[in-house]
Structure 1
């Protein structure tokens, strides 16, 4: 009994002197503490900021402005032509006056109403395609911002877990050092604890670097408007609720911005075929002219008609037909690809959701219980440090798998939401309500105290 009390007193004294021992030159260097964030942003603010500062949004808007100007060009009337000729009349016979003989002519080309309507309709389809392209870019930008946002949350969660792992390893190292010094355990336990402590330090440093890399990527997606030092408000454990695959497929077919763009391009190409065929009609223009001679004036008015005799526009019509066929096949191919992407994203969502549920409700909790049992057994000398470290490693791996599964679940939901990107004038996709996937739990539980 006296010997056990002496061991307990020595262990307590060693733990009380641990800060002074850690400050000594022979101690392992402690990890650098993360600097506090100056500002904290949530996801809606980041999405709004990206839409207002990203240069790609300005380029997409410029494309829409150009398509709007194309409608004005399609509605414009042909400009008139004015001819002014100057000459002199020299009489060779007696009585014929000589003098200047200028001539003036005015030519106005006319448009067929059907041709004007076709040009305006083609420009209108081009505008709708540009608007759908802008919406597709915005949806893609939102998806990239969300992915980067949850990537930062993932790395920060891994950093927090690494910090707690390092704190636990420091406690294990201190305990092993005390036990080795008093003779309760062989020296290999201290060597093993020091090795695991160095590995935890390395993991923490890697986690800190990954957090910085993820934040840099997020700043790039937002457009550089974020300060160098910032924090994020949110949780990695919440994901949008996704409806059934059949509902998603119907919603995508009706409102996907990329499909809407390709449909408008197909319709524009078909209108282009009709327009090229309409150019086979004779071109008509009104011509009015006057010739002023020294003795008299001659005025004329009539029609100028271009007869499509040699050029029946077979080449432009064939080219427009081929472009329409190309637009149709591209639309069909993209519809098939998007359906496959939607099914793959939905299956990935189901798989990762099942993984998150299994990890949260069973595996992580069992690993926590196993670590508690191993800690108690190690404290009372029933198990060695290897069993304790193995239990701690199992918990760390399970926790890492949970963090990765939660991130993959968010990515799958983001991909589905991107495929549901609504074109202008269509209803929004039903991937909106946010709810917890499972009851919230701590990703990095409080480490058991081995002392």
Structure 2
């Protein structure tokens, strides 16, 4: 009986040992798993910090315009011109300074006409001097004309600042749309490359299985190379246009940034007649030239009033041997031989020049408004054609060609043809929107403000 009871006890001990070994093994495995998880968790932040770079800053059109208007050298140059004209205005309002003239010396009487020269010698020696003060008095009409010239010059400079800001705004907008178009082209090129590579993978699988000849794979690789070249050219255009925009902001954007925004659209409320009226009343170039004509009028008046001589009031004190005197007088230049005919003629010629420039500018701005308005309307009609179905039709044709190719119902050439047509339509659509935005930007410059 004892031998039977001993056997189960031995088997139980063995079972307990196996359970213990299994338990220790499980604990060791769990410890290793926990250690590996801890090391992986500790390694994740370092790997992410090394691999991930900070996202480039994104700028909208308004923010880029603000930077350009604040840091572009053209604006600083216009501000310098305003400061210069303010200095001229201060000088025009100043009064002429007086002139003080003085002489001093030693005097002695050589022949007194007296019998006893020795007795009167001390009285006939003296330090002589005289002081003269002269104050010019301007002709009031000439002074008023000079101040009018300076005031009109400051108004011209302020209008020039508005003109500079208008031109810079147009340049920044065009550069922004150039970069936006380059980014769209790069995105389309990347999309085209992804599509071509997906088709190429299908072709290689068919060639490997013997369903398609080797030549199909070669054609697919050629298309991949073409797509990569197009993407490289598009990326290069993005880098070049990014540098152009950065230059206009005085280097405020840096080499790595992106822009966000969309192209402009033509509002139905914009009419040609209203744009021409706005141009004549608000355009900075028109205002600048009007102030230039006004400045020329004041310049002519100044030269004419300058023919009237300015009077200088003089007062003097004299102290000499045997004489002491206080005197006063006037100094008046006499315009007998020359009466500023040359300066008056030059001022008249400058006025004619500014008037002709004003008329030419009005005609050119009116022509620019008509041209850019018609270009915008024509391009807007073309965009409507794309929006009303051409884009969807090209996308649907590409989808059907890819589906037929996957089912074996169409050839590789049909897919690539549909891909090229779809990409070309998308590029034409992007270029049409770009041309509309550029035309509207030039139209705003011709009008003299936003639409």
Q: TM-score range by the shorter chain?
A: 0.7 to 0.9
Change (3 A) 1:301 1:224: same
Please report how far the alpha carbon of residue 35 of structure 1 lies from its aligned counterpart in structure 2 after TM superposition: 7.8
Partner of 1:94: 113
Partner of 2:302: 275
Partner of 1:409: 436
Please report how far the alpha carbon of residue 239 of structure 1 lies from its aligned counterpart in structure 2 after TM superposition: 6.0
Q: Relative to structure 2, which stretch is displaced further, 86-95 or 275-284? A: 86-95
Change (3 A) 1:408 1:35: farther
Q: Which residue of 355, 365, 377 maps to 1:338?
A: 365
Please report how far the alpha carbon of residue 131 of structure 1 lies from its aligned counterpart in structure 2 after TM superposition: 0.8
* Ranges in structure 1 where 5+ consecutive residues have no aligned partner: 1-33, 422-428, 432-451
Secondary structure of the corresponding residue to residue 331 of structure 2: strand
Alignment of 1:63-78 (within 5 A): 63-78=81-96
Q: Distance in 2 between matches of 1:418 and 1:218?
A: 19
Q: Distance in 1 between matches of 2:230 and 2:242?
A: 18
Q: Distance in 2 between matches of 1:86 and 1:314?
A: 43
2:264–2:436 contact (8 Å) kept in structure 1: no
Per-residue Cα deviation, 1:31-90 (whole angstroms, up to 9, x for no partner)? xxx987422222222211222222322221121111111111000101111111224444
Secondary structure of the corresponding residue to residue 332 of structure 2: strand
Partner of 1:50: 68
Partner of 2:338: 311
Q: Which residue of 246, 252, 257 maps to 1:219?
A: 246
Q: Relative to structure 2, which stretch is displaced further, 52-61 or 400-409? A: 52-61
Change (3 A) 1:388 1:210: same
Q: Distance in 2 between matches of 1:162 and 1:240?
A: 31
Alignment of 1:230-241 (within 5 A): 230-236=257-263
Alignment of 1:114-153 (within 5 A): 114-153=141-180
Q: Distance in 2 between matches of 1:208 and 1:375?
A: 27
1:242–1:413 contact (8 Å) kept in structure 2: no
Please report how far the alpha carbon of residue 148 of structure 1 lies from its aligned counterpart in structure 2 after TM superposition: 1.9
Please report how far the alpha carbon of residue 231 of structure 1 lies from its aligned counterpart in structure 2 after TM superposition: 2.0
Q: Which residue of 340, 362, 366 maps to 2:393?
A: 366
1:283–1:307 contact (8 Å) kept in structure 2: no
Please report how far the alpha carbon of residue 101 of structure 1 lies from its aligned counterpart in structure 2 after TM superposition: 2.4
Secondary structure of the corresponding residue to residue 86 of structure 1: strand
Please report how far the alpha carbon of residue 294 of structure 1 lies from its aligned counterpart in structure 2 after TM superposition: 2.3
Please report how far the alpha carbon of residue 98 of structure 1 lies from its aligned counterpart in structure 2 after TM superposition: 4.3
Q: Distance in 2 between matches of 1:430 and 1:168?
A: 41
1:39–1:230 contact (8 Å) kept in structure 2: yes
Secondary structure of the corresponding residue to residue 390 of structure 2: helix
Secondary structure of the corresponding residue to residue 328 of structure 2: strand
Secondary structure of the corresponding residue to residue 381 of structure 1: coil
Partner of 1:111: 138
Please report how far the alpha carbon of residue 369 of structure 1 lies from its aligned counterpart in structure 2 after TM superposition: 2.2
Q: Distance in 2 between matches of 1:218 and 1:390?
A: 36
Secondary structure of the corresponding residue to residue 234 of structure 1: coil
Secondary structure of the corresponding residue to residue 317 of structure 2: strand
Partner of 1:253: 280
Q: Which residue of 226, 239, 242 maps to 1:199?
A: 226
C-alpha RMSD over aligned residues = 2.1
Partner of 1:22: none
What is the TM-score normalised by the length of structure 2?
Answer: 0.82
Alignment of 1:374-389 (within 5 A): 374-389=401-416
Change (3 A) 1:158 1:241: farther
Per-residue Cα deviation, 1:112-153 (whole angstroms, up to 9, x for no partner)? 221111111111111111111111111222222222222222
Q: Which residue of 155, 160, 177 maps to 2:182?
A: 155
Please report how far the alpha carbon of residue 341 of structure 1 lies from its aligned counterpart in structure 2 after TM superposition: 1.7
Secondary structure of the corresponding residue to residue 312 of structure 1: coil
What is the TM-score normalised by the length of structure 1?
Answer: 0.82
Partner of 1:356: 383
1:180–1:190 contact (8 Å) kept in structure 2: yes
Q: Distance in 2 between matches of 1:313 and 1:407?
A: 57
Per-residue Cα deviation, 1:204-234 (whole angstroms, up to 9, x for no partner)? 1111111111111111111111133222221
The answer as to 2:304 corresponding to 1:286 is no
Partner of 2:3: none
Change (3 A) 1:430 1:216: closer
Partner of 1:82: 100
Q: Distance in 2 between matches of 1:139 and 1:364?
A: 36
* Ranges in structure 2 where 5+ consecutive residues have no aligned partner: 1-51, 115-122
Secondary structure of the corresponding residue to residue 97 of structure 2: coil
Q: Which is helix-richer, 1 or 2?
A: 2
